Homo-oligomer: A and B are copies of this chain.
Amino acid sequence: MPFIIDRLAIIGVGLIGGSFARALRQAGAVKTIVGIDRDASNLQQALSLGVVDEISGNPCQGVRGADAVFISVPVCSIPAAFQEIAASLDPGCIVTDGGSVKAGIVSSCEELLPQGSHFVGGHPIAGTEHSGAAASFAALFRGKRCILTPTANTDAEALTIVSRLWEAAGAEVCTMDAQRHDRIFAEISHLPHMVAYSLVHAVGTADAEGENILSYTAGGFRDFTRIASSDPVMWRDIALMNRTALLASIDGFSSSLEVLRTSIEQGDGAGLADFFTRAKRFRDGII
C-alpha cells in the first residue's frame, strides 16, 4: 500500500491509540508515527514494543510536521488536548479523535480549529477490558465499525483521508450526524451502563445489613452486572458529556419499567406475558 499520509501523531498511546498505530504500521499505511503521552513509562514502552517510531512528552512539539493527529485520550480531555496543540499544527493538518461521545467534542474542536487545519470526529466501536500501550494489538479494529461524524464545515478531503486510515486499520467506516451518534449510543451503551450501576447500587443498599445476599446467585447476577465493573472515571465523563441524550434514554427506560411495574402490581398476567414476549422477540430478532 502507498502511504496514505507520511506522518501521524497519536496523543494517548493506550489500547486504542496503540492499536491504531500497530494496525496502520502493519498495513504500511503511514510512514512515521509519533507517540505522545503524559505517562512517560507507557510512552517508553510503546517505543520499545515498536508501536510507534518516535515519542514525545510534549504535545506541541510532537505534532509539529504531522499530516494528521489522532487524539485518543479520555473523552472529557479531548477538547483540552486539542486546545493545547491547536497553535502548533502545520497548515493542512487533519485532527481526528476516538471519543465515544461526539456532539460536544465536534462543536468544541470546530471552534478551536485554526484556519487551514481540519477536524473530523470519530468513534471506533472496539475495545477490551485492558488498557495501556502494552495491551494494544493490530487486529483490534478488524471487522469493527468506526463511525465518523462530519459536519457542514468538514473538509471533504480530510474526511476521505481519515476514512482511508480507519479502513487501512481494518475497520468498516460509516458516517452519521454527531447528535444521532450520541442518541444511539445513549440507548445501546450509556443507558445499559447506568442501569447496571444503579442495579448494583440498589442491591448493595438492600444488602446493607451485610447478609451477603449475592452469595445466593448462581452466576447470573455476576454476568448481568459485569459492565458495572467498568472504569468509574470514564463513565463519569461519558455521563457528563452525553447528558442530554442520556437523560432522555433514562426517562424512556423508566417509562418502560413503570409499564412493567403496573402490570405486576395489577396482577396482569396477559400484560406481563406480552411485555416479556415483545422484549424477547426484539432482542432475539436483531442480534
Interface stretch, picked from A7-15, A21-29, A159-167, A206-214, is A206-214
**When the two chains form their complex, are residues A188 and B203 in contact, meaning their CB atoms are under 8 A apart?**
yes
**When the two chains form their complex, are residues A221 and B192 in contact, meaning their CB atoms are under 8 A apart?**
yes
**When the two chains form their complex, are residues A144 and B218 in contact, meaning their CB atoms are under 8 A apart?**
yes
**CB-defined contacts of A243 to chain B, threshold 8 Å:** 264-265, 267
**CB-defined contacts of A280 to chain B, threshold 8 Å:** 197, 200, 228-230, 232
**When the two chains form their complex, are residues A203 and B216 in contact, meaning their CB atoms are under 8 A apart?**
no
**When the two chains form their complex, are residues B286 and A215 in contact, meaning their CB atoms are under 8 A apart?**
yes
In the complex, whether A116 has a CB less than 8 A from a CB of chain B is no
Min distance, Cβ A161 to any Cβ of chain B, angstroms: 24
Q: With A192-B221, A195-B199, A213-B188 given, is the CB distance from A206 to B279 under 8 Å?
A: no
**When the two chains form their complex, are residues B216 and A145 in contact, meaning their CB atoms are under 8 A apart?**
yes
Min distance, Cβ A280 to any Cβ of chain B, angstroms: 5
**A216 in complex: contacting residue of B185, B192, B200, B272, CB < 8 Å:** B185
**CB-defined contacts of A218 to chain B, threshold 8 Å:** 125-127, 144-145
**When the two chains form their complex, are residues B229 and A284 in contact, meaning their CB atoms are under 8 A apart?**
yes
In the complex, whether A201 has a CB less than 8 A from a CB of chain B is yes
**CB-defined contacts of A256 to chain B, threshold 8 Å:** 198-199, 201-202, 205
In the bound complex, how far is the Cα of B189 from the Cα of A223, in angstroms?
A: 12
In the bound complex, how far is the Cα of B203 from the Cα of A184, in angstroms?
A: 9
**When the two chains form their complex, are residues A260 and B226 in contact, meaning their CB atoms are under 8 A apart?**
no
**When the two chains form their complex, are residues A286 and B253 in contact, meaning their CB atoms are under 8 A apart?**
no
Number of interface residues of A (CB under 8 A): 84
* A115-149 with Cβ < 8 A to chain B: 125-127, 144-145, 147
In the complex, whether A277 has a CB less than 8 A from a CB of chain B is yes
In the complex, whether A4 has a CB less than 8 A from a CB of chain B is no
Residue of B nearest to A282 (CB): B204
**When the two chains form their complex, are residues B286 and A264 in contact, meaning their CB atoms are under 8 A apart?**
no
Min distance, Cβ A152 to any Cβ of chain B, angstroms: 22
In the complex, whether A43 has a CB less than 8 A from a CB of chain B is no
* A245-287 with Cβ < 8 A to chain B: 246-247, 249-250, 252-257, 259-261, 263-265, 267, 269, 272-273, 275-280, 282-284, 286-287
Q: With A247-B261, A275-B197 given, is the CB distance from A287 to B224 under 8 Å?
A: no
**When the two chains form their complex, are residues B224 and A247 in contact, meaning their CB atoms are under 8 A apart?**
no
Min distance, Cβ A162 to any Cβ of chain B, angstroms: 19
**When the two chains form their complex, are residues B203 and A187 in contact, meaning their CB atoms are under 8 A apart?**
yes
In the bound complex, how far is the Cα of B217 from the Cα of A145, in angstroms?
A: 9
**When the two chains form their complex, are residues A189 and B276 in contact, meaning their CB atoms are under 8 A apart?**
no
In the complex, whether A240 has a CB less than 8 A from a CB of chain B is yes
